[in-house]
A and B are shown apart, each in its own frame.
Chain A
């Protein structure tokens, strides 16, 4: 079974631009979560999508948004990029997170975003 895939793996953008990151979950997984990892703040939860609906949201500004498609693939968008948005963006998928029972989260390799 293929793991979680993220594209692109590396991105370089300039301040003020916008960017879209993509995540394909493990086949059959319906929950997709996004995390930002920086040296200063560590790993922080951005949001989670389940069945095309945002189910949970972290404490990030509205410049960060996402969506999920009917095939469970998810995209994350960051508008008006700032230098502080430089980070490793990780997505994770799980089978039935939140519907009862423990659920392991499987992470993708991440997208390394550099904002100049």
Chain B
């Protein structure tokens, strides 16, 4: 059974700092990995999707990497802003069932002024 872990569970950083969020998964047979953000009481917003054959994806200040063999992904956020405050979730989809996401427990990020 696939298990996805995110460390740390919560993180507080001052504005402008660069930061890294970690995601690890136990079964390397994945179809893709996605990073989402969730604001309190809201739905999920997709940030980046990395296919199993890719090593990284970038969007603006965000960069996500994937090391499938070691079961790890990182989300790098450059020059953090208060608007980045949210819960960040990673999710993997198993090979052959691309729509069945297994989510991590999330990292709650707070960026302070």
Contact = CB atoms under 8 A, between A and B. Distances in A.
Interface of A: 4, 31, 33, 35, 42-45, 48, 50, 55-56, 58, 88, 90, 92, 94, 97-98, 102-110, 112
Nearest to B46: A104
Interface string B80-110: 0000000001010000111111111110000
Most buried by A among B31, B44, B91, B106: B44
Contacts of B34: 104-105
Contacts of A105: 34, 46, 99, 101
Nearest to A44: B103
Interface in B11-43: 31-32, 34, 36, 41-43
Interface of B: 31-32, 34, 36, 41-46, 49, 51, 89, 91, 96-106
Contacts of B96: 98
Given A90-B43, A98-B97, A42 B49 contact: no
A107 B44 contact: yes
A107 B36 contact: yes
B1 to A, nearest CB: 10
